[in-house]
């Protein structure tokens, strides 16, 4: 298929819940699982919307838990609790990217890696540490400086739009 004839996967398949579930799973899974799914759908590039610099609250990270819920519809092994941080007594759960609170499952997710790739070196506010996310109002706990299955192709001036190339099997 020539590039001119390719269409956005999400828009082409939004009527099918299974495909929507697979797209959600691509973002919430680790790189290896995401890469295999993307290969099965012949995905070349992935775009994410990130509001950490501009304070855009409708970014993809704020939709992350919805992605988990959608993916869970077709994969009962997926658990929302694995992506949430829990208080000491286990009574309160929250979504956090901070070092003390961010769960391993979230940190390993492809969306987390794509949004925060290189972010740990970015200073957004004078009175905040590098890696401060203005939407989540937290400093990034785990820096992402490399990805095995994807490579950054484009990041807009204010980090709102990020595009990653899906590496071919020969480069992994």
Q: Which residues of the chain have pLDDT under 70?
A: 1-15, 88-91
The SS3 call for residue 68 is helix
Domains and CATH numbers, the chain: 18-171 (3.40.50)
Contact (Cβ atoms closer than 8 angstroms) between residue 22 and residue 14: no
Torsion of the alpha carbons at 98, 103, 107 and 111, rounded to the nearest 10: -100
pLDDT reported for residue 13:
47
The SS3 call for residue 102 is coil
The model scores a pTM over 0.75:
yes
């Amino acid at each position: 298929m020539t590039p001119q004839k390719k269409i956005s996967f999400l828009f082409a398949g939004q009527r099918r819940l299974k495909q929507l579930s697979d797209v959600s799973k691509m973002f919430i899974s680790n790189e290896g699982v995401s890469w295999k799914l993307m290969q099965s759908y012949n995905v070349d590039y992935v775009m994410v919307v990130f509001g950490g610099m501009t304070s855009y609250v409708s970014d993809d990270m704020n939709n992350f838990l919805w992605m988990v819920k959608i993916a869970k519809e077709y994969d009962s092994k997926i658990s929302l609790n694995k992506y949430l941080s829990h208080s000491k007594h286990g009574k309160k759960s929250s979504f956090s990217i901070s070092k003390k609170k961010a769960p391993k499952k979230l940190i390993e997710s492809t969306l987390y890696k794509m949004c925060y790739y290189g972010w740990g070196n970015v200073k957004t506010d004078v009175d905040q540490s590098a890696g401060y996310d203005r939407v989540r109002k937290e400093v990034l706990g785990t820096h992402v400086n490399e990805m095995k299955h994807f490579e950054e192709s484009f990041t807009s001036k204010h980090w709102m739009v990020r595009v990653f190339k899906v590496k071919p099997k020969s480069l992994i």
